[in-house]
Amino acid sequence: MSKQIIQTDKVPAPIGPYSQAVIANGFLFASGQIAFNPATGELVTDSIEAETKQVMENIKAILVASSLSFDHIVKTTIFLSDMQLFAQVNEVYGSYFSADFPARETVAVKTLPRNVNVEISITAIVNL
């Protein structure tokens, strides 16, 4: 098995022993993204909508660095600090897809890195 590490300065650099994304066996596996704006070096926490938008923009940057789009995503996992945020996150998340939506689970967790409210990871297929 061979794997290709995806690294871009358009998303936050890893803060531990992991990669932003890895391509292996025809799939892209992206690490969970939080609302860290790499241009400013700050977390986007103005609202849950703004936070979710930054997360999705970070995912978009990984996809672009991999020559992929949201159409390539086959699976997402959404982690929320509170399930009460589901509707707002879902609205922003949904605006990035047009059809043939990926499989998904959404779970509430006790805490997320840097005490953010949302983290999203994805798996995408490389060859459509």
pLDDT in tens, 79-117: 999 999 999 999 999 999 998 999 999 999 999 999 999
pLDDT of amino acid 2: 86
pLDDT of amino acid 30: 97
CATH number at residue 16: 3.30.1330.40
In this structure, what token pair is assigned to residue 49? Answer: 């909508």
DSSP state of 115: G
Rounded CA separation 83/39 (Å): 29
pLDDT of amino acid 105: 97
pLDDT in tens, 25-81: 999 999 999 999 999 999 999 999 999 999 999 999 999 999 999 999 999 999 999
pTM of the model: 0.95
Structural domain for 16, as ranges: 3-125
| Band of residue 12 on the pLDDT scale cut at 50, 70, 90 | confident
Examine the pLDDT at 128 and tell me if it is beyond 80: no
Residue 89, CA distances (Å) to 12, 43, 96 in order: 21, 16, 12
Question: How far is CA 74 from its chain centroid?
Answer: 13
CB 33 within 8 A of CB 55: yes
Domain count, the chain: 1
Rounded to the nearest 10 degrees, the angle between the axes of helix 86-94 and helix 48-65 is 40
